[in-house]
Chain A
């Protein structure tokens, strides 16, 4: 007897309230059983008109708004907008301020990568690494709290430098953290990175080749996981990064193949070690400079009027290339502000790279891209 099995595709709404969409992302999944036919990201739930805000406020007033974009890497955002304004004003930022910026940008990078690595564990069903990551991240947040009073949204830079000077107590706190954290990365390796199940779940999954990365404008750990050493810190050094001795981490395919989820994850783990290296050097360099009000901020007027000009400055945020394009017509507020956020570009190719994979892989790919929805939607 002929038997015809009729199967249908299932349209499933993943998000905006779903445990592993890392915020308010909505994915529309067309599924055939557990296989994804199509995963269409639907964004905009956290749109807060960041660009328009930038056009109606002075640059210094806009800095707190940049905190809310990539809230896990808030300091990197602060630094990006400050650098853009400084470039237009042709300001000479004091060395001490630059080193402080580098030091805290790298601390912030570690904090952000810890979230990425920890939540990636949760996405794959391992809850414990997340809490270990949270414990270490708390120490960084304590340092930020001592420095600026805030734990998440720092608003720490100003045009021309930073708000407060670093104290010897904070310096020793940072060094203490570095000593504490170095073995913790090894712990994370033992617990998660080389775990057999973890490797099975991530190696060879969600492959994003280098050419595709370049086509989609995917930057940060995603492109570095393909073995391409694209890092703005060395390609276009800013804030004296050229004086620091560190390696650009690229995927080495210890497990899996280049450009898969495992390599994207592991690039982040290794980058934390490099960040520690930079932080230690930054503390040495800060100690070699003289403290004082003039050494943390350049002389700027109370009301900053940016001359009629335009500039695009890109920095390496934890998630990739963060660019601020600022057009000024000579008044105190920018004429146009365009922000190129890494998460938005990184998410753009999601549909293509998840086609034909299983539901569990969608979660793995999304986690390995490490988006922040504030950064996607702005």
Chain B
């Protein structure tokens, strides 16, 4: 595929330039990390800007509007400020873990992007367990947060860490179970294949999206995933680990400068992961009425905008779709009060968990009855048939 060609070309260049295999690996790792960062960093900067502007609009304020157009470069200015700040180690803190925690949190959120598709062609690594990989890696974030709370030698930080223990670890269960609902339907955990299955043509193509294939169970699954995702990102109304009015700033009370910046960055990166996975599983990924396929047939060596158009059109569609759940996250944060710890756990165990289990069973029955393809039967031209797709996949595998 097109994306693979880009990466192949890149790897060929690197392979040809360095003799020493270790050096080659190191250079490839650094360059790949920088390329990935090139996507994640602007997105996070924009996300922070959007958060502040939306919050300001909701709260009858103006918000950042001085740095760049409409304050668009505010995130960059903030980053420079973070880097320029003095490094402070609180007295009595565990120096190693204090410093390691933000790095771990940052790395965990960032590695998740390895398996997260950027468009229908572009992904760093197309695992067959991509979905599982993303959430296995990003859940390392929890360890970093607990580490930060414990190492800071501050009681409020420790409370934040303990709350993180209780809340985020509990919410991993409904989060993973809600992913299982989608997995039952698609029969695969590869996000690229899941995207391909949702690729429909024309106006009826929208019915190929996961949520329309099984409106009841996948619809409920989307809500469950979103709620559990909110809690695992520590977003309001589940922002207990860094509840300002209760725990000062929770686990990052003692962090300043770029160390805090890394927590901040990780929060928005993992928010994007939640939103993007939600779009990928339930809302068709980068498919949008065939718009994503414009320019696919143009060969890659056609230099200029045309050549990279299909790469970025799909990406824009994916990010654009992910902005909608992100925007809802912002609205929730700036509207709702915060739950109490026992209420958060109540919601997890008494509401989300039973609903998840019911949805998994329901979806399994729905899929067994072949109901996933109801749209494919009605519009055979427009909507691909999941069953046939799976057959083709297994044939290709053999």
Question: Could you tell me which A residues sit within 8 Å of B by CB distance?
Answer: 10, 12-13, 18-20, 33-34, 121-128, 131-132, 135, 191-192, 195, 197-198, 200-201, 358-361, 363
Q: Does B17 contact A (CB under 8 A)?
A: no
Q: Is A125's CB under 8 angstroms from B60's CB?
A: no
Per CB-CB distance, the 3 closest pairs between chain A and chain B, nearest first, are: A125-B338, A126-B337, A20-B245
**Interface flag for B33 (CB, 8 Å):** no
Q: Given the complex, which residues of B lie within 8 Å of A126, measured CB to CB? A: 335-338
Q: Across the interface, name the chain B residue whose C-beta is closest to A126.
A: B337
A360: contacting residue among B236, B244, B335, B340, CB under 8 A = B340
User: Which residues of B100-122 have CB atoms within 8 Å of chain A's CB atoms?
Assistant: none
Query: Which residue of the partner chain, among B59, B162, B245, contacts A125 with CB atoms under 8 Å?
Result: B245
Name B59's contact: one of A131, A195, A200, A358 (CB within 8 Å). A131
Known pairs A128-B334, A201-B343. 13 more at Cβ < 8 A? A19-B245, A20-B246, A124-B338, A125-B236, A128-B335, A195-B337, A197-B338, A198-B337, A200-B340, A201-B339, A201-B340, A358-B340, A363-B246
A34–B55 Cα distance when bound, in Å, is: 30
Closest B residue to A123 by beta carbon equals: B245
Contacts of B248 in A (CB 8 A): 18-19
Taken together as a complex, chains A and B put the C-alpha atoms of A13 and B154 apart, in Å, by 11
Are A195 and B61 in touch, CB under 8 angstroms?
no
Say what secondary structure dominates the interface of chain B. loop
Q: Is B243's CB within 8 Å of the partner chain A?
A: yes
Q: Given B58, B245, B340, B342, which contacts A128 in the complex, CB threshold below 8 Å?
A: B58
* Distance (whole angstroms) from the CB of B50 to the closest CB of chain A: 17
* Given A123-B245, A125-B239, A363-B245, residue A131 in contact with residue B337 (CB < 8 A): no
B244–A358 CB distance below 8 A: no
Complex contact B337–A19 (CB within 8 A): no
Taking a contact as CB atoms under 8 Å apart, the answer to whether B335 and A191 are in contact is yes
Chain A hits for B58, CB < 8 A: 128
Given contact pairs A125-B236, A128-B59, A131-B60, A192 touches B246 in the complex (Cβ within 8 A): no
Known: A19-B248, A125-B237, A135-B60. A360 touches B337 (CB 8 A): no
Task: Tell me if B159 is interfacial: C-beta within 8 Å of chain A.
Answer: yes
Do A359 and B337 have beta carbons less than 8 Å apart?
no
Contacts A127-B59, A359-B246, A360-B243 hold; do A197 and B339 have CB atoms under 8 A apart? yes
Would you call B155 an interface residue if the criterion is a C-beta within 8 Å of the partner chain's C-beta atoms?
A: yes
Q: In the bound complex, how far is the Cα of B244 from the Cα of A127, in angstroms?
A: 11
Compute how far the CA of A130 lies from the CA of B87 in the bound complex, rounded to whole angstroms. Answer: 34
What residues of chain B lie closer than 8 Å to A10, measured between beta carbons?
155
How far apart sit A127 and B60, CA to CA, in the bound complex (Å)? 12
The digit string for B223-247, where 1 denotes a CB below 8 A from any CB of A, is 0000000000000110100011110
Across the two chains, which residue of chain B brings its CB closest to A120? B337
Give the total number of A-B pairs whose CB atoms are below 8 A apart: 77
Q: In the complex, A12→B246 CA distance in Å?
A: 12
Contacts of B393 in A (CB 8 A): none
Choose among A12, A18, A20, A195 the residue that contacts B336 (Cβ–Cβ < 8 A).
A195
Inter-chain contacts of A19 with B (CB < 8 A)? 244-245, 248
Which B residues are CB-close (under 8 A) to A131? 59-61
Give the CA-CA distance A19 to B244 in the complex, in Å.
Answer: 7
CB distance from A18 to the nearest CB of B (A): 6
- Do the beta carbons of B341 and A124 come within 8 Å of each other? no
Find residues 294-350 in chain B having any chain A CB closer than 8 Å to their own CB: 334-343
What's the minimum C-beta distance from A371 to chain B, rounded to whole angstroms? Answer: 15
Tell me the smallest distance from the CB of B37 to a CB of chain A, in Å. 31
- CB–CB B59/A360 < 8 A: no
B residues in contact with A197, CB < 8 Å? 237, 336-339
Shortest Cβ distance from residue A6 to the other chain B in the assembled complex, whole angstroms: 16
Complex: A191 Cα to B59 Cα, angstroms: 12
Known A10-B155, A360-B243: A132·B60 in contact at CB below 8 Å: yes
Complex contacts, A128 vs chain B, CB 8 Å: 58-59, 334-335
B residues 57-90 near A (Cβ < 8 Å) are 58-61
Knowing A128-B335, A197-B339, A358-B342 are in contact, say whether A122-B60 is a contact too (CB < 8 A): no
Give B338's nearest chain A residue, CB to CB: A125
The minimal Cβ–Cβ distance linking A21 to chain B, given in whole angstroms, is: 10
A12 to B248 CA separation, bound complex (whole angstroms): 12
Contacts of B335 in A (CB 8 A): 126, 128, 191
List residues of chain A with CB within 8 A of the CB of B243: 125, 360
**What 0/1 pattern do residues 139 to 159 of B give for CB contact below 8 A with A?**
000000000000000011001
Residues of A within 8 A of B60 (CB): 131-132, 135
What is the distance, in angstroms, from A368's C-beta to the closest C-beta of chain B? 13
Interfacial chain A residues near B245, Cβ < 8 Å: 19-20, 122-125, 363
Distance, CA A151 to CA B78, complexed state (A)? 34
Residue numbers in A under 8 Å from B61 (CB-CB): 131
**Chain B nearest CB, measured from A133 CB (Å):** 11
